Structure 1
Amino acid sequence: MYIETKGKKQDPKRMVRKIAFISTFGGLLFGYDTGVINGALPYMSEANQLDLNPFTQGLVASSLLLGAAFGALFGGRLSDYNGRRKNILYLALLFFIATLGCTFAPNTTLMVISRFILGIAVGGASVTVPTFLAEMSPAETRGQIVTQNELMIVTGQFLAFTCNAILGNVLGDVGHVWRFMLVIASLPAVVLWFGMLIVPESPRWLASKGRIGDALRVLKQIREENQANIELKEIKSSVDEESKLEKSSFKDLSIPWVRRILFLGIGIAIVNQINGVNAIMYYGTEILKNTGWGTKAALIGNIANGVISVVAMLVGIWLLGRVRRRPMLIIGLCGTTTSLFLIGFFSFILNGSAALPYIVLSLTVVFLAFMQGAIGPVTWLTLAEIFPLRMRGLGMGFSVFWMWIVNFLISLSFPVLLSTIGLSITFLVFGVLGLIAIAFVNRYLPETKGKSLEELEYYFRSYGNQELQSKQAR
Structure 2
Amino acid sequence: MSKKTRQNSFLGTIILVSTFGGLLFGYDTGVINGALPFMSEDLGLNSFTEGLVASSLLLGAAIGAVFGGRLSDFNGRRKNILYLAVLFFIGTIGCTLAPNVMTMVIFRFLLGLAVGGSSVTVPTYLAEMSPVERRGRVVTQNELMIVVGQLLAFVFNAILGNTMGDTLHVWRYMLVIAAVPAIFLFVGMLRVPESPRWLISKGRKDGALSILLQIREENRAESEFNEIDAAIVKESETQKATFKEMAVPWVRRIVFLGIGIAIVQQITGVNSIMYYGTEILKDAGFQTEAALIANIANGFISVIAVCVGIWFLGRVRRRPMLVIGLIGTTTALLLIGIFSKVLEGSAALPYVVLSLTVLFLAFMQGAIAPVTWLMLAEIFPLRLRGFGMGISVFCLWITNFIIGLTFPVFLESIGLSTTFFVFTAMGILAIAFVKKYLPETKGRTLEELELYFRNYKAKNKEDALEAEFKSNIT
Q: Output the TM-score relative to the length of structure 1.
A: 0.88
Match of 2:15 among 14, 20, 24: 20
Moved more, 202-211 or 18-27: 202-211
Contact residue 127 and residue 400 of structure 1 kept, 8 A: no
Q: Deviations over 1:308-336 (max 9, x none)?
A: 11111222223334334333333222211
1:174 aligned partner = 167
1:40 aligned partner = 35
1:273 aligned partner = 266
1:334 aligns with 2:309: no
**Aligned residue runs from structure 1 range 365-376, under 5 A:** 365-376=358-369
Moved more, 153-162 or 386-395: 386-395
1:108 aligns with 2:95: no
Runs of 5+ in structure 1 lacking a partner?
A: 1-5
Q: Deviations over 1:272-298 (max 9, x none)?
A: 211000100111111111111111111
1:287 aligned partner = 280
Q: Higher relative CO (CA 8 A, sep ≥ 6), structure 1 or 2?
A: 1
Match of 2:49 among 33, 56, 74: 56
2:256 aligned partner = 263
Contact residue 150 and residue 380 of structure 1 kept, 8 A: no
1:194 aligns with 2:172: no
Matches of 1:399 and 1:343 in 2, distance apart?
A: 30
Q: CA deviation at 1:388?
A: 5.7
Moved more, 15-24 or 85-94: 15-24
Contact residue 143 and residue 320 of structure 1 kept, 8 A: no
**Aligned residue runs from structure 1 range 282-321, under 5 A:** 282-321=275-314
CA distance 1:427–1:185, change in 2 (3 Å): same
Matches of 1:395 and 1:431 in 2, distance apart?
A: 28
Structure ID, larger Rg? 2
Q: CA deviation at 1:92?
A: 0.8
Moved more, 53-62 or 231-240: 231-240
Aligned to 2:167, what secondary structure does the other structure show? coil
Contact residue 81 and residue 189 of structure 2 kept, 8 A: yes
2:469 aligned partner = none
2:143 aligned partner = 150
Match of 1:124 among 108, 112, 117: 117
CA distance 1:418–1:325, change in 2 (3 Å): same
1:75 aligned partner = 68
**Aligned residue runs from structure 1 range 299-448, under 5 A:** 299-384=292-377, 386-387=379-380, 392-448=385-441
CA distance 1:334–1:141, change in 2 (3 Å): farther
Match of 1:30 among 6, 25, 29: 25
CA distance 1:259–1:243, change in 2 (3 Å): farther
Q: CA deviation at 1:357?
A: 0.4
Aligned to 1:273, what secondary structure does the other structure show? helix
Matches of 2:71 and 2:387 in 1, distance apart?
A: 9
The one-letter code sitting in structure 2 at the alignment partner of 1:18 is T
Matches of 2:235 and 2:153 in 1, distance apart?
A: 43
Q: CA deviation at 1:31?
A: 0.8
Q: Output the TM-score relative to the length of structure 2.
A: 0.88
Q: CA deviation at 1:370?
A: 1.2
Q: CA deviation at 1:128?
A: 1.6
The one-letter code sitting in structure 1 at the alignment partner of 2:300 is V
Contact residue 343 and residue 363 of structure 1 kept, 8 A: yes
CA distance 1:375–1:144, change in 2 (3 Å): farther
2:128 aligned partner = 135
Contact residue 4 and residue 217 of structure 2 kept, 8 A: no
Contact residue 332 and residue 374 of structure 1 kept, 8 A: yes
The one-letter code sitting in structure 1 at the alignment partner of 2:306 is M
Aligned to 1:272, what secondary structure does the other structure show? helix
CA distance 1:312–1:367, change in 2 (3 Å): same
Matches of 1:192 and 1:387 in 2, distance apart?
A: 32
Percent identity between matched residues is 68
Matches of 1:129 and 1:256 in 2, distance apart?
A: 33
Contact residue 279 and residue 414 of structure 1 kept, 8 A: yes
Matches of 1:390 and 1:217 in 2, distance apart?
A: 30
Q: CA deviation at 1:192?
A: 1.0
Q: CA deviation at 1:258?
A: 4.9
Contact residue 266 and residue 403 of structure 1 kept, 8 A: yes
